[in-house]
Amino acid sequence: MALDEQQLNRILSPVYVARGKRYWENGSVLSITQSEKPGMLSGQVRGSGKHIYKVVVQITENPDRLPTIAGHCTCPVGWNCKHVAALLLAAGSQIEPALAAPASTSGTRAAIQQSPASKGQELPGEVLRWLRESEQLSGEQESLYGLLYLLSLKTTGVGQAQVKLEVVKVRHLKSGGYGKPSRFNPHSASQAHFMRPEDRRVIALIKAQAAAAGHYGRTDQVVLSDDLGIELLQAVLRSGRGHWQDPQGPCLVRGEPVTGSLNWYWGDDSQLHLRFDSEREGLMLLPLSPPWYLDPSSGECGPLETALGEREATALVRAPAIPLAGLDAFEQATQQRLKGLKLPTPPRLEQRELEVEAPTLCLRLQSREVPSRPIYSGWQGYGAPMTEPKWEDEGRLLFDYAGALVDPRQPGERIEHIEDGLLISCQRHPKLEYQATARLGELGLQPLRETSEQPGMPFAPPQTEAWLAFMDRDVPVLEAEGWRVEVDPNFRFRVGRIGSWDLDIEEGEAGRWLDLSLGVEVDGERLDLLPILINLIQNPAVDLSPRALAEISEETRFSLRLDDGRYIFFPAERLKPILSTLVELYDPMARLRGDGRMRLSRLQAGELAELEQQAPNMSWRGGEQAREWGRRLREFERIEPVAVPSELQAELRPYQQEGLNWLQFLRDFELGGVLADDMGLGKTIQALAHLLIEKAAGRADRPSLVVAPTSLMFNWKREAGRFAPSLRVVILQGPKRQEYFDQLGEQDLVLTTYALLPRDLEVLSAQSWHLLILDEAQAIKNPRSKGAQAARALKARHRLCLTGTPLENHLGELWALIDFLMPDLLGDERGFRRLFRTPIERQGDQDRTERLRRRVAPFLLRRTKEQVAADLPPKTEILREVPLAPDQRDLYETLRLALHEKVRKEIARKGLAQSGIIILDALLKLRQCCCDPRLVSLESARRVKGSAKLDLLMDLLEELLQEGRRVLLFSQFTSMLSLIEEALAKRLDYRKDRDYVKLTGQTRDRQTPVDRFQAEEVPLFLISLKAGGSGLNLTAADTVIHYDPWWNPAAERQATDRAHRIGQDKPVFVYKLLTEGTVEQRVAELQARKQALADAMLEGGGSATKSLSHEDLELLFAPLDAD
């Protein structure tokens, strides 16, 4: 890498480069030696006299900028001087940062000599000592830390300028710069392993300078004075690490003497000061002995030459500022006492008198860091000092008299100041000044002891924390009273003034997402408030729970600190609803976008609608559709009612009409929902009415699919046929279901089971559905089950879950339903567990419980029977049909064929009228097979495991008991009650007398189980027909289940009336369980047509045969698939 003159001008002082060039051209560079160390060379350069200076240069290459040159010289300047420049120009393009071998250069009179060490020659001792010293100078032993010397000017209280030198420790950065400076104690310098020889010389001089000034304690700064000050400055220049004011300031370099003159001038403080004038502009005067100059832009400094002698110039630059009032006395004194000095004459001013009615009251607020007293870790001051920065925060009171700022403590009745070359004078107003001082006292500010030389009388509150309240509450009052409050940028309690608020919403991705931006005007500029509030929410020390927010008074004011150090205050009445909404919406795992926006699901628009209602003064931009949707979502009562379709063959109850309105509302906004009404309240009919509206409106241009347990297939088909006969319905069940696969698009409603869904998924997922309904949707509560995954794979415009128990064991089940419907609402399972499930289930967090409830409330509609009791009839009868299980079906068909043949033969032999006993016995065995094969006293029946009706009963009981129902369960077969008891113990862990009671003909103490059930000690009562069909008063029950059909409707009603009788204050639900296509269903059909037949079959004997016809018998013994 070649370093030419232009590059050197950018690295070194151009003055030194120009002079070094002259040295090179006139042959002053005597020798150049290139070291084996990369980038290092040394040499000898003759000075202007007979002196020969030794020069060592280290060049460090920087990837992104010019190289760094560290040049040390034995001349008085010592660092990157003209001799260094001469050596570099002489070497020219041969200088490389990594020199592998010695090289020679042409175009210079100096021969580049090969390093003697490379030849293996022995060196004299004095040469070896010089090389060691040069290595130290060149930074051979590099350290992570180093010292810098900062030069600055300070002014005393009397306006006298002084040159201050401060020592700081810095860290060398890889980038070539310095880290943040820290204080360094020169008196512990012996412990600083990173010090170089030149540092020890500087620090020795600092100690001497401090001692000369009478400072023997620890100090990291001294004032340069006398000859010692000049010597100290020159040592700093030789170190090459002197800077003007701070480490980022220009590096100090020795310059040539500059000729000029010393002259008086009037400063802004209306005092007379001395300055140095020369042909070079921008030079500063350094009051040293003798005086020096400084160029603050380049860092060049050097001796000052004037017409005055050294003694006179030194005396003059030490002169303090001359106040305006003492000008005449000063001139007289200098004429009398300093006649021998050729001093410049102070300029004269033209005077002008002003009348000021009242001064402007000024309060300057500022903070400044002050040195704190060090604490030494060792005994008697030994060891490293430990200090912490200390701040003084103050308000300084001043009075502005037509541009002249007056300190309240300043004596005199008149004010004089200089403005535009004029001497302005006016009369002070002491009464107003006193009142202003007292006013600050009323606001809690107290006068402070003066600790600085800044203008103005200092005030501060007793506690530092009180500044914020003063800035928020009192400063606006002072400004309204006419005060001018000036806030310095370094004041630690700056407060921004709040203007308008705005909330901006951008809708994207077809309205699925909302990007939210919250802004507030602070001091005329819009500030993104979301990042600040999110940081507040994330602070574990701040309780922003709904309960805590509710307890905050509307008069409270929140304070927030901005990145630039300003504080802003918000009234609680404005910030509380915003914080409440953000707490509701915020997901700790989600991050704000780079532009400060928060991305929300459109499903969270309800929270924004509530915020809009609670924050009417906020300006809203964008998102009109989402906000309107959110308002409707939040206010369920505002959902517009829809007309019941004429095709529905039923009259909806009021709560069912509301449910239909809700379903249509969800469809309108393409949302899913959970209809979670109690069992028996008509979830199916509400869904059917919804389907009819969709079909009538032409929106259902494709079929809808219902997935339900096997036990509900025929219930759906029967309900659809009864209430919505216009719908084309097909059941996909059994081995022949594949016949309908090609006809799915022709149907209005397709029914399938959870068990078959995974098997038929290829076909069902290929079909696009209008509405997908999951009945008994708790079946997908395990999201990893095959059924749940298959359901998620189906394509549908709208999704709906029906269940009376959306939550059975834990919140993860609710998440599974909501995630199936609207994955964006509750997030993924892991995030839901962290945000809701763990805090609620393990920690009992009521705030999170309420937050979750509010989030899902618009999408979950649940009515209990108690809530809608006024809309219910006294008694509701519900028929539940279930197909036989496969093995049970085979047994039934075997029995039917054999028994039918036996009955035919008996009728052929005795006639129909005389065959009643055989007929009833055959029907009894078929009825027992329908209830449970184990009731049939045949060897083949014992091998059949499972009962479809018993499984249906257990599903039904589990849901009813979870809802808190009180259930009477009737059966004609006491042995069936025993089997039910076994199932209760196995399935629900129910035990007799603990969880339920039982009454049969063998029960001796009938009153105890009745009393326990009536006292609500147990929720379930098992009763046999003969024991409990009459005579009991069981009004504690609200649900009756007939496990097997009773042929005599009157007897069945009598059993039902155990619960539904005088004194009953609750609606009663009556469930009748039948097996599909069996003798139970056939008898039910005959029961409706031939009441006498049913009565006869129940009474038995010959009277039964009198009501039977051959057609009736064929119907009763018809095959399962006869329909």
Q: CATH number for the domain including 748?
A: 3.40.50.10810
Q: Which two tokens stand for residue 202?
A: 């500087």
Determine the 3-state secondary structure of 292 from DSSP: strand
Backbone angles phi, psi at 791, to 5 degrees: -60, -40
Confidence at residue 2, expressed as pLDDT on a 0 to 100 scale:
56
Q: Which two tokens stand for residue 12?
A: 């070194």
Confidence at residue 433, expressed as pLDDT on a 0 to 100 scale:
94
Confidence at residue 727, expressed as pLDDT on a 0 to 100 scale:
94
Region of poorest pLDDT, from 405-409, 922-926, 1082-1086: 1082-1086
What's the one-letter identity of residue 712?
L
Q: How many domains does the chain have?
A: 7
Confidence of residue 385 (pLDDT cuts 50, 70, 90): very low
Confidence of residue 628 (pLDDT cuts 50, 70, 90): confident
User: Measured between alpha carbons, how far is 518 from 542 in angstroms, rounded to an integer?
Assistant: 21
Backbone angles phi, psi at 239, to 5 degrees: -70, -25
Most confident stretch, 281-285, 304-308, 673-677, 803-807: 673-677
Last residue of a domain, one of 316, 346, 376: 346
The answer on 312 and 373 residing in a single domain is no
pLDDT(416) > 80: no
Confidence at residue 1112, expressed as pLDDT on a 0 to 100 scale:
81
Return the closest-CA partner of residue 210 out of 193, 191, 194, 187. Answer: 187
Confidence of residue 119 (pLDDT cuts 50, 70, 90): very low
Q: Is residue 477 part of a domain?
A: no
pLDDT(1063) > 70: no
Confidence at residue 87, expressed as pLDDT on a 0 to 100 scale:
87
Confidence at residue 1061, expressed as pLDDT on a 0 to 100 scale:
56
> Where is 148: in which H helix or E strand?
strand 145-155
pLDDT(718) > 60: yes
pTM, rounded to two decimals? 0.56
Cβ(675)–Cβ(802) below 8 Å: yes
Confidence at residue 109, expressed as pLDDT on a 0 to 100 scale:
34
Q: Is residue 488 part of a domain?
A: no
Which one is predicted more confidently, 538 or 100? 538
Confidence at residue 93, expressed as pLDDT on a 0 to 100 scale:
39
Q: Which two tokens stand for residue 732?
A: 């996909």
pLDDT(189) > 70: no
pLDDT(121) > 70: no
Q: What mean pLDDT comes out for the span 813-827?
A: 89
Cβ(1097)–Cβ(1083) below 8 Å: yes
The answer on 303 and 227 residing in a single domain is no
> What is the average pLDDT score of the chain?
81
The answer on 942 and 827 residing in a single domain is no
Eight-state DSSP code of residue 587:
-
> What tens digit of pLDDT does each residue of 349-382 get?
777 777 888 999 999 999 988 765 544 333 333 3
Region of poorest pLDDT, from 644-653, 845-854, 890-899: 845-854
The answer on 898 and 1022 residing in a single domain is yes
Which one is predicted more confidently, 76 or 530? 530
Confidence at residue 157, expressed as pLDDT on a 0 to 100 scale:
64
> What tens digit of pLDDT does each residue of 231-263 get?
999 999 998 889 998 888 889 999 899 888 878
The answer on 622 and 586 residing in a single domain is yes
pLDDT(104) > 50: no
Confidence at residue 1122, expressed as pLDDT on a 0 to 100 scale:
64
- Domain extent, residue 438, equals 353-456
Q: Is residue 837 part of a domain?
A: yes
For residue 1059, give Cα distances in angstroms to 830, 970, 1063.
Answer: 47, 12, 9
pLDDT(112) > 50: no
Confidence of residue 98 (pLDDT cuts 50, 70, 90): very low
Most confident stretch, 200-214, 303-317, 677-691: 677-691
Confidence at residue 378, expressed as pLDDT on a 0 to 100 scale:
35
Confidence at residue 412, expressed as pLDDT on a 0 to 100 scale:
85
The answer on 357 and 329 residing in a single domain is no
> Where is 847: in which H helix or E strand?
helix 846-856
The answer on 687 and 590 residing in a single domain is no
pLDDT(872) > 90: no
Q: Is residue 838 part of a domain?
A: yes
Confidence at residue 687, expressed as pLDDT on a 0 to 100 scale:
96
Which one is predicted more confidently, 118 or 1060? 1060
Which one is predicted more confidently, 219 or 60? 60
The answer on 923 and 827 residing in a single domain is no
Q: Is residue 483 part of a domain?
A: no
CA 232 to chain CA mean position, Å = 56
Handedness of CA 482, 483, 487, 493 (dihedral sign): negative
Q: What mean pLDDT comes out for the span 834-861?
A: 84
User: Measured between alpha carbons, how far is 552 from 574 in angstroms, rounded to an integer?
Assistant: 12
Cα angle 523, 527, 531 (rounded to 5 degrees) comes to 145
Cβ(491)–Cβ(367) below 8 Å: yes
Last residue of a domain, one of 86, 118, 137: 137
Residue that is written with structure tokens 């959110």 in the block: 630
28, with CB counted inside 10 A (0-12, 13-18, 19+), is: buried
pLDDT(86) > 50: yes
Q: What mean pLDDT comes out for the span 139-149?
A: 69
For residue 338, give Cα distances in angstroms to 291, 313, 324, 330, 585.
Answer: 19, 13, 20, 11, 81
Q: Is residue 642 part of a domain?
A: no
pLDDT(1008) > 80: yes
Which one is predicted more confidently, 1017 or 192? 1017
Q: What mean pLDDT comes out for the span 511-516?
A: 74
Confidence of residue 135 (pLDDT cuts 50, 70, 90): very low
Q: Is residue 1055 part of a domain?
A: yes
Radius of gyration of the chain (CA): 50
Last residue of a domain, one of 313, 346, 379: 346
Confidence at residue 1091, expressed as pLDDT on a 0 to 100 scale:
55
**Count of beta carbons in the 10 Å neighbourhood of residue 116:** 13
Most confident stretch, 122-136, 569-583, 991-1005: 991-1005
Q: Regarding beta strands 484-487 and 495-496, do their DSSP bridges make them parallel or antiparallel, or are they unpaired? A: unpaired
Buried b (16+ CB within 10 A) or exposed e, 177-209: ebeebebbbbbbbeebeebbebbebbbebbbeb
Query: Residue 1101 is part of a domain; what is its CATH number?
Result: 3.40.50.300
Confidence at residue 685, expressed as pLDDT on a 0 to 100 scale:
94
pLDDT(134) > 90: no
pLDDT(65) > 80: no
Confidence at residue 219, expressed as pLDDT on a 0 to 100 scale:
62
Buried b (16+ CB within 10 A) or exposed e, 416-431: bbbeeeebbbbebbee
pLDDT(983) > 60: yes
What percent of the chain has pLDDT above 90? 28
The answer on 830 and 685 residing in a single domain is yes
The answer on 131 and 30 residing in a single domain is yes
Handedness of CA 682, 688, 690, 696 (dihedral sign): negative
Backbone angles phi, psi at 143, to 5 degrees: -130, 155
User: Measured between alpha carbons, how far is 806 from 804 in angstroms, rounded to an integer?
Assistant: 6
Eight-state DSSP code of residue 163:
E
Cα angle 856, 826, 842 (rounded to 5 degrees) comes to 90
What's the one-letter identity of residue 931?
C
Confidence of residue 116 (pLDDT cuts 50, 70, 90): very low
Confidence at residue 175, expressed as pLDDT on a 0 to 100 scale:
66
Q: Is residue 578 part of a domain?
A: yes
Most confident stretch, 42-46, 483-487, 882-886, 1052-1056: 483-487
The answer on 794 and 668 residing in a single domain is yes
Cβ(169)–Cβ(145) below 8 Å: yes
pLDDT(792) > 90: yes
The answer on 342 and 381 residing in a single domain is no
